[in-house]
A and B are shown apart, each in its own frame.
Chain A
């Protein structure tokens, strides 16, 4: 960081002035150390999860948390037990989660792209009002809406069905806002005008001109909504009673809660292995979509 203040006189003479204007990235020990600490902070829990997924119940309590238990490597056995426990309900929960993500996050992304594009590229009366509402909606945590949503849905007879999770997931104010600002910069209005002059209809223009230009932004929103839906806990907790419709978050929590119940079987090792299995798809999604994700985040920061 360079500051505009005069350097105090006690400091040694500044180095070559040229340095200040060079565009070569400079190394900073402090920054490297700080990011290193943050990296460790993020990776250690993951490491813990991987290591402990290889232990038996006894191993979990007998060995050091961040190292493997002596003579035990039960990762495969644990995965098999996780997938077969309770008649293989884990697989069912996994598929439920996938359904909620594909339908919920996919739908939310599609709606956000449609809405963002429309708000960015069409002038209509009341646009300022919509903007205010969207910004306001971003500030409302989903958890606060969960209980009123539950009461509304129970009137409609939708609780305890997949719809109770999918429909609220379709609404992503933040995704809409992101798409809106992104579309503002990513789609030159001249392009749209050219397409109209050439006789293309509005929907065709959107799908053939808009969508390709919006791809980085779409991936960004998709990742956001996917993570949000994948980790959604409170909404399914109050909406769903039937374990057959649980997503993984609720299922694993129910397994964990068995430990606190009289007559319950303690299965921490399966909860840990299940958690590991649960984050693999998310990690894969991030790695695969990383390129788009980064360009999407930086989009709109510089006006070309």
Chain B
């Protein structure tokens, strides 16, 4: 997900919380095997015996699912607490872990942040719970997200396969074709802006999540992580494809500088100032409530391609639910986790507007046939499911991605507001990340 810059301070506080924890875990680099063994019988027993579970999540669909679960298992009591949204919650979680008190049993953690918690053994490895057998139940992107370093550190809650959202009204008005490739996208950006100087094809003032997703789709692999050994490289072929295009977009002032997720941004999405949005499949509900005046005008198309006729996509955002290592009720927690992520709970969440990570739901005729009024009756889930199946495999996040993302604006973000080239900005981001990683006890190149 994306952030707002006012959280920088908090993220810094969180980063400080991460500091030196690594030194305390004895420097053991292999976290592939680990965790305790809990059988299905243990989980069933735990559910029958009942007990209390504390869950931290900012997702509004968790509570109704927990209510349904409690109706099914009357002896289980679940408290769902919203301890903050994305980075705010990670700060709170690090604080609680440091204090050794108030750590929840289950926590909502985005894929980009999960490897950080996994490497520090703060989330439980579910290998011994039989989680690896669930591999085929989930789409490849989200499964890749929960399995850093060879363990299974949570189960996918949702996913964000990327698509192109576009304002059909704007495209029709200026007689511009919907772009299928990034070259066409660049041409469309020029045409739209020339036809109406107020209109931009997209807003981008520098966002770590968007940038890494774009490079991911282009086949770039900036991060390689093997235990404690990390390599960061923002100059590979995939990254270069992206920077070459985006540099043109920046130089020719084809991108609006409106900050994402602000009131102004939602306004621009509603009134046709921003003609497209390349983002994850979870966006529709945000559009419906955030840009109500765009209703009926927006449509979905596949993500533009680097090669004509290609199908490659990437994940953007999306999150897992993880059992915390500090939990004393892991079997019970796992019981609810299964229900929530690939049991009956999935339906409750979908009914409440969540986007699934489970292949069965992504491919179900009922899911794909759903027509969305906001998108003029378009069956957008078909496109989402297609994108989900085409995510480029093998992507990895840093074991300190939360911190790295927090310094994106100060390094790579400079390319958007100063004459700095984007490639140099990414190099600066790389250098700062390498430096920080080494300070944290990793071996970073």
Q: How far is the CA of A3 from the CA of B389 in the complex (A)?
A: 79
**Contacts A57-B292, A58-B292, A265-B289; A260 near B261 (Cβ below 8 A):** yes
CB–CB A263/B82 < 8 A: no
CB–CB A61/B291 < 8 A: yes
Chain B residues with CB under 8 A of A264: 58, 60, 85, 285-286, 289
Chain B residues with CB under 8 A of A60: 263, 267
CB–CB A265/B285 < 8 A: yes
Of the residues A243, A265, A268, contact of B263 by C-beta under 8 Å: A268
CB–CB B289/A266 < 8 A: yes
Q: How far is the CA of A263 from the CA of B353 in the complex (A)?
A: 7
CB–CB A262/B282 < 8 A: yes
Chain B residues with CB under 8 A of A279: none
Q: How far is the CA of A62 from the CA of B266 in the complex (A)?
A: 11
Question: Which stretch from A132-140, A150-158, A172-180 is at the chain B interface?
Answer: A150-158
Q: How far is the CA of A243 from the CA of B60 in the complex (A)?
A: 13
CB–CB A254/B84 < 8 A: yes
Chain A residues with CB under 8 A of B100: 154
Of the residues A58, A257, A259, A267, contact of B293 by C-beta under 8 Å: A58
A198 at the interface (CB under 8 A from B): no
Chain B residues with CB under 8 A of A242: 81
Chain B residues with CB under 8 A of A262: 1, 158, 160, 280, 282-283, 285-286, 317-319, 355
CB–CB A263/B267 < 8 A: no
- Residue interface bits A237-254, CB-to-B below 8 A is 1, else 0: 110011100000000001
Chain B residues with CB under 8 A of A150: 95, 99
Chain A residues with CB under 8 A of B91: 238
B86 at the interface (CB under 8 A from A): yes
Chain A residues with CB under 8 A of B86: 260-261
- Residue interface bits A166-192, CB-to-B below 8 A is 1, else 0: 000000000000000000000000000
- Residue interface bits B299-337, CB-to-A below 8 A is 1, else 0: 000000000000000000111000000000000000000
CB–CB B85/A258 < 8 A: yes
Q: Once A and B bind, how many residue pairs between them come within 8 Å at the CB atom?
A: 118
Chain B residues with CB under 8 A of A268: 263, 266
CB–CB B81/A257 < 8 A: no
CB–CB A238/B261 < 8 A: no
CB–CB A260/B3 < 8 A: yes
Q: How far is the CA of A266 from the CA of B85 in the complex (A)?
A: 13
CB–CB A257/B85 < 8 A: yes
Of the residues B13, B82, B280, contact of A254 by C-beta under 8 Å: B82
Q: How far is the CA of A1 from the CA of B325 in the complex (A)?
A: 69
Chain B residues with CB under 8 A of A225: none
CB–CB B285/A62 < 8 A: no
Of the residues B96, B290, B317, B354, contact of A259 by C-beta under 8 Å: B290
Candidate in A159, A237, A242, A260 with the most chain B CB atoms within 10 angstroms:
A260
Q: How far is the CA of A69 from the CA of B377 in the complex (A)?
A: 29
Which B residues contact A (CB, under 8 angstroms)?
A: 1-4, 10, 13, 56, 58-61, 81-86, 88, 91-92, 95-96, 98-102, 158, 160, 261, 263, 266-267, 270-271, 280, 282-283, 285-286, 289-293, 317-319, 353-355
For this complex, 11 residue pairs linking A to B, each with C-beta atoms less than 8 Å apart, are: A60-B263, A61-B266, A151-B98, A241-B56, A241-B83, A257-B85, A259-B261, A263-B60, A263-B285, A263-B286, A264-B60
- With A154-B101, A254-B82, A258-B85 known, 6 other A-B pairs at CB within 8 A are A57-B292, A154-B99, A238-B13, A259-B290, A263-B158, A265-B60
